[in-house]
Structure 1
Amino acid sequence: MRKAGPALLAAVLAFGGAAYGMTRPASADVVAQLSGPQLVADMGAGWNLGNTLEANNNGIPSETAWGNPAVTQAFIDRVRAAGFKTIRIPVSYLGHIGSGPGYTVNAAWLTRIKEVVDYAYSRGLYVLINMHGDGYKSVTGSWLICDAADQTTIKDKYQKVWQQIASKFQTYNEHLIFESMNENFDGQYGNPTQPCYSNINAYNQIFVDTVRRTGGTNASRWLLVPGWNTNIDHTVGSGFVLPTDQNRSSSVPANEQRIMISVHYYDPWDFAGQEDGTITQWGAGATDPAKKSVWGQEDFLDGQMKKVYDKFVTRGYPVFVGEYGSIDKTTYDSTNNRYRADYARAVVATAKKYGAATAYWDNGWNGQHGFALFDRSTGAVTQPGIINAIMSAVGGSQPSSPPTSPPTTPPTTTSPPANPGTGTCRVASTVSAWNTGLTTIITITNTGTTAVNGWTLGFTLAAGQTIVSGWSAGYSPASGAVTATDAGYNGVLAPGGSTTIGYQANHTGNAAAPTGFRLNGATCS
């Protein structure tokens, strides 16, 4: 997605705020060998820092060019505190690339990209960076054009730019993911054309080969590649060719992949992105048929996600829905935000059902036709209903396989009771360990008959383990007898309800799972 909606006021307002959670070094030389399903589960809810590092002024990238303020650590902390565990950071290079044959990327621009990456990476979040606007014909200075004449020069430039990016982040661990490009296609919204699609496939192969050959963690990190315009039908259909991964590290198990597939989801467009007031409602809960699209409802969404599951997930290639969302049409229909939340909940829940991670598209614009969930200047949440819908959809336990008969109604949430409950509990934990580090994912289930409204989970770490970062809860202290406290959005556990939290820890040889779980003081099974 490119710039959408009115431009924000060009103001940079600094704001304070405590750092959330514990930090870790910006460089890490250990890599968790997460399988595809483990990665998707660990990525949790994702969010896009849109219209920022991909913004440009006459072909020169600048993060404030489209009206959003400069990114700060405090703002990223606010996004993390809202429950997001993955941040996709679109990046353009354009006029910051020097002339051939070296095609040197401006050092200050690479440094700024690194600073913004570190805001999220240092907090234990997953971070995705890509080459975003360089392939748009509508952008001044674009050059990654699949139907341009001189493909030899384009491919040489592409290889050398990605070599510099990959080298810059060579030591970062598995929480950093590279994405080869964004919505690359010939600019015509029709069927793919050849040899344009062949060139897109070639770009993806150059990307994988180049990143792998820079060595270090790049030899085993997860890499994300799109098909034609990140379109689901044109990616699962003929034309898309998976890149080979012959240069990856021998440490990766032979039966596992390290390549992800990128798709975007904005269907039906008349609800999600069309800037008029005709279609403002979506889903089974719509109350006015005249305001609801005649296509693109829950059954269509389920079918699209099943396509990528059947084509890629079943073969070990995780899918990342790198953009989804719907614009604000409350000026036309005051109930619109309800349906925007329903839409977000359904996309996230259905993607999760079919083994895909997701990232909401946020362009920083609040108001008519905007996608924003936060005020970029103050960090305030502006769409709590949509965020709550996302978190409720991603927070439950993952089924072992997609059901054969998809539901006909969207997921629902249970309203919390007025007072806390005191039911019993069940806790399951999974540990993925490597060298001197580990990742632990904990699922808490309320097995009682009364809702729990606000919780703390006590447990004991094995000797020699120290938590270095955590998500979906606050953790204190970092070792020994630890208490995890709910993050607010996941504080209510209805009877039978569950939530998933997790942390990364260092260890001195003992990677055992935590023990002695107690929810609000009650021992859990």
Structure 2
Amino acid sequence: MTSRATKLRSVLLAAALAVTATVSGINPAGATAQLNAAQIVADMGAGWNLGNQLEASANGVPSETAWGQPTITQALVDKVKAAGFKTIRIPVSYLNHIGAAPNYPVNAAWLNRIQQVVDYAYQRGLYVLINMHGDGYKSVTGSWLICDAGNQAAVKAKYQKVWQQVATRFAGYDQHLILESMNEEFDGQYGTPTQPCYSNINAYNQIFVDTVRRTGGNNASRWLLVPGWNTNIDYTTGNYGFVMPTDQFRSPSIPAAEKRLMISVHYYSPWDFAGEENGTITQWGRNATNPAKKSTWGQEDYLDAQLKAVRDVFVSKGYPAVVGEYGSVDKSAFDSANNRYRADFARAVVSTAKKYGAAAVYWDNGYNGQYGLGLFNRAALTVTQQGIIDAIRAGLAS
């Protein structure tokens, strides 16, 4: 039996959530709309990363302009939406914006700015992914989410407190907001995963899921995104130690057979084409015309096998996948045809992801020209790589 006080609290909570949804520009009815795995991946559509902004930092202090990008504006997000993107991933660093133990308070102004940027996209009906991005890199000043650090008890306590604050801030947002536990977490070397480092990564993911769920509101049924070792497909799908978190605190309203956890992977293969900063390998795929400029591995068959493995291990079990980052750097200074192959690569990643039940989110680092990954000029609010954007949309339509 429900008491009058409990009923009143329920009514007040429902009203508060409805107000939040209305203020944020989302129909209040959307707060209760629940999409299954296949539906949400399809609805996310084309994805784009607001890279090198809220995860940028200087001397351990996050700042959206620290790496040379302009202040983020509503106009930029509107430009991205107008180009056809339906999902924006917003990488976020916390670093020295986190206060002292035991409560580890997040700087209020920083949390307010994160929410404001989220709202730029959320108010427009876009899907928004936010994560903890730069805090796990040993190369970043102030990083602390280090899987082979000595004092793991302190690391885990800090991680729990930060996510508790972030999740509480966004508890009223509907399913257009997806939270991602962390970014490319690993011990810094690119070889076989080490133990107990991988066990600590699994523990972080479990803390994330439990913490977010316990904050209540829409977080009890929100889609949550978790990665394996360095978001590497082989080390996440293979027998290297990844464990999908349990979801014991999720809302009882979620159908028993339905998952609300997603798996995060990144795709930059072959690296000599996608990321290596020289002019040697500039072509990719079956349309390449110069064998000397084409990588000897990582072509369409490899891409298909990689995303098929994600499908077989996770998607087939009800866990949708998100290719949270993919892309290839601009080497057109060395090969005038390079942007055509970059477009071929983007189209192939998107269409193959769709084939195997995954959404794909292009990594835009805000830079144009040599070795850049930008699709837009963020200062001028112009499109710089329409061909790649067209290819992404074609990949979705394939």
Report the TM-score when normalising by structure 1.
Answer: 0.71
Task: State the secondary structure of the residue aligned to 2:383.
Answer: coil
Which residue number in structure 2 is paired with residue 87 of structure 1? 88
Distance (Å, rounded) in 2 between the aligned partners of 1:91 and 1:247:
25
Which residue number in structure 1 is paired with residue 341 of structure 2? 339
Which residue number in structure 2 is paired with residue 288 of structure 1? 290
Shift of 1:25: 2.8
Distance (Å, rounded) in 1 between the aligned partners of 2:281 and 2:109:
44
Task: State the secondary structure of the residue aligned to 1:153.
Answer: helix
Distance (Å, rounded) in 1 between the aligned partners of 2:188 and 2:371:
23
Shift of 1:51: 0.1
Structure 2 stretches of 5 or more lacking a match? 1-20
Distance (Å, rounded) in 2 between the aligned partners of 1:80 and 1:338:
23
Which residue number in structure 1 is paired with residue 221 of structure 2? 220
Q: Deviations over 1:164-193 (max 9, x none)?
A: 000000100000000000000000010000
Matches within 5 A, 1:58-73: 58-73=59-74
Shift of 1:378: 1.6
Matches within 5 A, 1:200-349: 200-238=201-239, 239-349=241-351
Contact 1:102 1:160 in 2 (8 A): yes
Distance (Å, rounded) in 1 between the aligned partners of 2:22 and 2:172:
13
Higher strand share: 1
Shift of 1:31: 2.5
Task: State the secondary structure of the residue aligned to 1:322.
Answer: strand
Distance (Å, rounded) in 1 between the aligned partners of 2:137 and 2:224:
21
Distance (Å, rounded) in 2 between the aligned partners of 1:51 and 1:219:
30
Which residue number in structure 2 is paired with residue 352 of structure 1? 354
Distance (Å, rounded) in 1 between the aligned partners of 2:211 and 2:382:
40
Higher helix share: 2
Which residue number in structure 2 is paired with residue 167 of structure 1? 168
Contact 1:47 1:88 in 2 (8 A): yes
Distance (Å, rounded) in 1 between the aligned partners of 2:337 and 2:60:
39
Which residue number in structure 2 is paired with residue 385 of structure 1? 387
Q: Deviations over 1:244-293 (max 9, x none)?
A: 00000011111100000000000000000000000000000000000000
Shift of 1:87: 0.2
Shift of 1:81: 0.2
Distance (Å, rounded) in 2 between the aligned partners of 1:342 and 1:295:
16
Report the TM-score when normalising by structure 2.
Answer: 0.93
Q: Deviations over 1:305-348 (max 9, x none)?
A: 00000000000000000000000001100100000000000000
Contact 1:129 1:177 in 2 (8 A): yes
Shift of 1:237: 1.1
Distance (Å, rounded) in 2 between the aligned partners of 1:195 and 1:136:
18
Q: Deviations over 1:197-235 (max 9, x none)?
A: 000000000000000000000000000000000000000
Matches within 5 A, 1:321-470: 321-396=323-398
Distance (Å, rounded) in 1 between the aligned partners of 2:314 and 2:76:
35
Task: In structure 2, give the amino acid aligned to 1:245.
Answer: D
Which residue number in structure 2 is paired with residue 126 of structure 1? 127
Distance (Å, rounded) in 2 between the aligned partners of 1:215 and 1:198:
27
Distance (Å, rounded) in 2 between the aligned partners of 1:228 and 1:363:
22
Contact 1:24 1:124 in 2 (8 A): no
> How many residues get paired?
374
Distance (Å, rounded) in 1 between the aligned partners of 2:72 and 2:22:
20
Shift of 1:24: 5.3
Q: Deviations over 1:444-488 (max 9, x none)?
A: xxxxxxxxxxxxxxxxxxxxxxxxxxxxxxxxxxxxxxxxxxxxx
1:25 counterpart = 2:23: yes
Q: Which runs of structure 1 show a deviation greater than 4 angstroms over 4 or more consecutive aligned residues?
A: none
Distance (Å, rounded) in 2 between the aligned partners of 1:208 and 1:24:
27
Task: In structure 1, give the amino acid aligned to 2:397.
Answer: G
Distance (Å, rounded) in 2 between the aligned partners of 1:126 and 1:111:
19
Identity among equivalent positions (%) equals 72
Shift of 1:130: 0.2
Task: In structure 1, give the amino acid aligned to 2:277.
Answer: E
Shift of 1:33: 1.3
Task: In structure 1, give the amino acid aligned to 2:304.
Answer: D
Task: In structure 1, give the amino acid aligned to 2:271.
Answer: W
RMSD: 1.0
Distance (Å, rounded) in 2 between the aligned partners of 1:379 and 1:371:
16
Distance (Å, rounded) in 1 between the aligned partners of 2:284 and 2:362:
17
Which residue number in structure 2 is paired with residue 114 of structure 1? 115
Distance (Å, rounded) in 1 between the aligned partners of 2:63 and 2:187:
25
Distance (Å, rounded) in 1 between the aligned partners of 2:228 and 2:193:
10
When Rg is computed on C-alpha atoms for both structures, the one with the higher figure is 1
Task: In structure 2, give the amino acid aligned to 1:243.
Answer: P
